[in-house]
Amino acid sequence: MIGIPADGDLEAVRELQPGGVIFFARNAAPPTELRRLTRRVNEMLAVPAFVGVDQEGGRVQRFKDGFSIVPPAREIGNGGAQNVHLSAMTVAAELRAAGVNLNFAPVCDVPVHPDDTVIGNRAYSTDPIRAGLLAAEYVRGAQGSILCCAKHFPGHGGVGVDSHSGLPTFEGTREELETHLTPFRGALAAGVGSMMIGHIRVPCLDPSGAPASLSAPIVTGLLREEIGFRGLIFTDDMEMGALDQTQSGPNAVRALAAGCDVVMICHSRDKALEAVDAIKKALRDGVLSQERVQDALDRVAWAKRRFGIVKSEN
């Protein structure tokens, strides 16, 4: 999945044929213009794309012109479950009308670390049970129109480093981690179609020090096998400061091998090309199995059918 540049140049879309694209504030426009842009994107692709955005509300709302201005999740959640449900329905309907079919929300983090600077009021609550109930209500409200993505598994609220700039480490025990997993379980119970893996080290699960996005014990062992999530798994942006930016290709391979289904490279065309080349080479060399890649492709196809992005064969 790649980002669209500010100038709207879609040559990388034509060249790379990605499974999806993501919009940022640099692409913000009124709904009719966005609809034309998404149509142009899909005209260049053999298979219709995920068209995603971070439209959480509050300080993370990419589109404003022609869209409802949405308060932060904490403020919406303070109004109760029905308020969350109605807000999610509104956001989803507006995005779908603009040609967007994927929203990277709800935020399921529980911001309890005293040095937290990145989550704050983007989360519904510092109480994990309440956060899970409200995340579930968001999913129920939004997924009638678009695909939701619960983020940032296994929880960014228990760390004090922003993964945009460095690699955070969750220092707690497996039992303490359960606080941060609770909202994701709530979103799963509501049928959330996708989740995003954060770039967070969790030594109690993976002593190797690999960030969650590159960790088979976390993605496959915890999320797939223990928690039982069967939907689509996105990485967070692979160009964030938490990851070694000289390793774009190998990191993309590691993310897929760990169990992620969609690798997100949101800014650099060159890094996206490096990732594609590295994945092809890893398949040729047997470093990455055909079965793992086919499994990812099957999940992508399922999600696109399930959420009306491509027509179902039935």
Give the residue numbers marked as catalytic: 164, 236
Distance CA 140, CA 237 (A): 26
Contacts of 197 (CB under 8 A, 6+ apart): 152, 153, 212, 213, 218, 219, 223, 233, 234, 235, 236, 255, 260
CB 303 within 8 A of CB 232: yes
CB 185 within 8 A of CB 259: no
Over the Cα atoms of the chain, what is R_g?
18
Helix (H, G, I), strand (E, B) or coil at 31: helix
Share of the chain residues as helix, strand and coil, in percent rounded to the nearest 5: 45, 15, 45
CB 57 within 8 A of CB 72: yes
- 168-176, Cβ contacts within 8 angstroms, sequence gap of 24 or more: 168/199, 168/200, 168/201, 168/242, 169/200, 169/201, 169/202, 169/203, 170/200, 170/201, 170/202, 170/203, 170/204, 171/203, 172/204, 173/204, 174/204, 174/205
Distance CA 186, CA 182 (A): 6
CB 1 within 8 A of CB 16: no
Distance CA 204, CA 195 (A): 21
Residue where the block lists tokens 């960014």: 156
